[in-house]
Structure 1
Amino acid sequence: MFERIGQFLGHYLEFERPSKQTYISQDYDALCSTIRVGDVLLVEGRAKISTGIKYLTQSTWSHAALCVQDSTNGLPAELVEVTLEDGCHRLPLAKYRGYNTRICRAWGLNEQERLIVANYALDRIGLQYDMRNIYDLLRYLFPTPPIPIRWRRRMITFGSGDPTRAICSSLIAQAFQSVNFPILPSIEMISASGGNHWHHKEVWHIRHYSMFMPRDFDLSPFFEVVKPTLRRGFDFRRIPWAAEDESSTESGPDRANGTQEPMEKLG
């Protein structure tokens, strides 16, 4: 019974609502040519659960996926992500065409380390979230609960930390921790004796992977924010600005519904 209730809640919470995203700024072709293995793709989701995560994290980004294959070898780019319904699975980058996204690239990783991060995620394909734990799902039926800020990070954590369960940010955090790459470590100043003098030094602690959120990869000082449109070559002088008498037409229903993607033509 709990399994069926959980499946129903999972499907309901992850049902896409395109009308909730009124503007799309993505240049998909530039995204495909820019993303690399080991990059984190942040996504502005449009599902009910996405609204709750964005509220609790006070961030645009509600979901994260890891690039495990890029287009440099002529194959389509692919990601590994975790969702409530499908668990940990592999999917084409094309799924997020038409979404607002951001690429976060770990600074300083070499090619071998990028592959280690990607393979960590690939090895965990098939992990599922226990849908019988419906208490974790019920909280997202109320997308804007009156929760104090200090408790919000813990509220988005799913489950009891069972290794057979996986959530998008947690899996990616574990993948980078497998090569000892920092995301947002806890830094402590401790006193240490050196000869006849006392001095302070920094000690870094790895934060538990279950406490990471999608926005942490954006906030981390160790990840570079990569703008595909700029990397592909952007010249503001080439923008086909509308004449003043056309402005009212451009702001009509089609533009309001987010069906136009002006950035697609500027790459």
Structure 2
Amino acid sequence: MRGMNRLLARIGHTLARFLSGERHTHSSTPLTMPDQLMNCLEPADVVLVDGNSRVGTAIKYLTQSTWSHAALYVGPPGSELFSDPTHCFVEADLVAGVRSVGFEEFVGMPTRICRPVGLNEAECRAVVDFAISRLGHRYDLRNIVDLARYLFPTPPVPFHFRRRMIALGSGDPTRAICSTLIAQAFQSVNYPILPTIEYRAAATQECPGCMDEILHIRHHSLFVPRDFDVSPYFRIVKPTIDGNFDFRTLQWEREAARQPDGDAAHP
């Protein structure tokens, strides 16, 4: 049995490395410059990434979204949280597991910043500490069937089952994927992402039609990167306009200069 587990883990590791390989894709999402990203982030911000790995392509198809990956910003570089002073994010990687990375990991990729609204400093710290405490956790790569489902860029899965397909792994809570890890971190302080909402009658004489809104926590394994984008509890932060943006300073190419000789538009 032990030998079989080792064999499955070896096959799973090889398959995971293949799925993590990059493939050429075209994205219309603008790239964010690393310095813009660095100047804009706050601890507990979620950074969504439009990745180009094979598994990322499948995730974007299954979620009908631009975003294939998510990372949690835990503090500025040099904060001594990690052995590498350039690291400032915690993410879950298919091969490496839960790890810390720096800004260079997202260079050349479109990103989006999702900021939780209403958290105080202590709650932000608790979210960050939860993610850091999970460093070293890994996928269960013995479940090669889970990995094999992502060999197709557009897996033939019915719409209603697509979210459940992304719940990769054995179900062991230590086998985190990127959005699962971050969802657990926010759920540790009871912060909502996309809870299931139930409405119950709460009629009184003063308010005969009143309803109570009851939130139910969705299981962390069912969260996907796009949930942070569409969540009503996260604000989208755009580095390009977050500073002193002035559209008047933009330099536009003159249309006439792009016309072939003799084809310039007449006034």
Return the index of the structure with the highest Cα Rg: 2
C-alpha displacement of 1:195: 7.5
Kindly indicate whether residue 225 of structure 2 is the aligned counterpart of residue 214 of structure 1: yes
Kindly indicate whether residue 31 of structure 2 is the aligned counterpart of residue 25 of structure 1: yes
Kindly indicate whether residue 141 of structure 2 is the aligned counterpart of residue 131 of structure 1: yes
Q: Which residue matches 2:265?
A: none
C-alpha displacement of 1:76: 4.8
Q: Which residue matches 2:109?
A: 99
What are the Cα deviations for residues 61-105 of structure 1, in whole angstroms up to 9, with x where unaligned?
Answer: 000000011269797561000011000001112210211000000
Kindly indicate whether residue 59 of structure 2 is the aligned counterpart of residue 48 of structure 1: no
Pair 1:7–1:247, CA change in 2 (3 A): farther
- Structure 1 runs of 4+ aligned residues shifted over 4 Å read 71-77, 192-199, 245-249
The AA in structure 1 aligned to 2:216 is: H
Distance 1:73 1:2 in 2: 39
Greater Cα offset, 38-47 or 189-198: 189-198
Kindly indicate whether residue 238 of structure 2 is the aligned counterpart of residue 233 of structure 1: no
2:142 is paired with a residue whose SS is coil
TM-score by length of 2: 0.86
* Structure with a larger share of its residues in helix: 1
Distance 1:72 1:84 in 2: 26
Pair 1:246–1:69, CA change in 2 (3 A): farther
How many residues are treated as equivalent by the alignment? 248
Pair 1:63–1:192, CA change in 2 (3 A): same
Share of identical aligned residues, percent?
A: 50
C-alpha displacement of 1:190: 1.8
- Which sections of structure 1, spanning at least 5 residues, go unmatched? 250-267
Q: Which residue matches 1:16?
A: 22
Pair 1:248–1:156, CA change in 2 (3 A): farther
Pair 1:142–1:238, CA change in 2 (3 A): same
1:65 is paired with a residue whose SS is strand
TM-score by length of 1: 0.86
1:147-166 aligned at under 5 Å gives the runs 147-166=157-176
Q: Which residue matches 2:96?
A: 86
The AA in structure 1 aligned to 2:184 is: Q
C-alpha displacement of 1:201: 1.6
